[in-house]
Amino acid sequence: MYEITYLDWEENEAFEQIIKEVLLECYKEEKLIDSKLTIQITLTNAKNIRALNKEYRNIDRETDVLSFPMFEKGELDLKIKNRDFTYEDILGDMVISIPRVEEQAKEYGHSFKRELSYMVVHSFYHLMGYDHIEEEDKKEMRKKEETILQKLNITRD
């Protein structure tokens, strides 16, 4: 389902448990439990995510999470509809800045767990082909994100 790597960051079992819990719920919600779709997750620092943001998006600043989907939404929707899971496929990559998660948790007044969970679910839905550029798309994506967090009882407290 996923693989976690650390780029200039120390391994952390608590982070891994949060990620596992959130992704399991995402896979259940989207009926992907029996799929062979995998996600590569990199946990890193501000310097590395800024470099990746500059390299891949031409934006020279730190960000909280980067998502690199391997499928177009229509292509993925068809794969899921047809249950085309004979072979292992990479759903995509997500890169998360742990210092940014810590900062935003404080800024928004909620727990680190809630912020990391949100980053994972947010990136998951980008990998699934959702975005938040248009208002209607944003509403659909936010609803999916909140559904996952509510099912896990991960609140803004």
How many whole angstroms separate alpha carbon 45 and alpha carbon 8?
7
Average pLDDT, the chain: 95
Tell me the three-class secondary structure of the chain, residue by residue: CEEEEEECCCCCHHHHHHHHHHHHHHHHHCCCCCCCEEEEEEEECHHHHHHHHHHHHCCCCCCCEEEEECCCHHHHHHHHHCCCCCCCEEEEEEEEEHHHHHHHHHHHCCCHHHHHHHHHHHHHHHHCCCCCCCHHHHHHHHHHHHHHHHHCCCCCC
How many whole angstroms separate alpha carbon 79 and alpha carbon 74?
9
Total-model pTM: 0.95
Q: For residue 59, count other CB atoms closer than 10 A to its CB.
A: 12
Token code pair at residue 137: 């798309």
Residue 157: pLDDT band (50, 70, 90) is: low
CA distances from 114 to 21, 31, 105, 136 (A): 12, 23, 8, 25
What mean pLDDT is predicted for residues 67-85? 93
Residue 137: pLDDT band (50, 70, 90) is: confident
pLDDT of residue 108: 94
| Per-residue pLDDT tens digits for 7-63 | 999 999 999 999 999 999 999 999 999 899 999 999 999 999 999 999 999 999 999
Fold of 2-151: Collagenase (Catalytic Domain) (3.40.390)
Percent of the chain at pLDDT above 90? 89
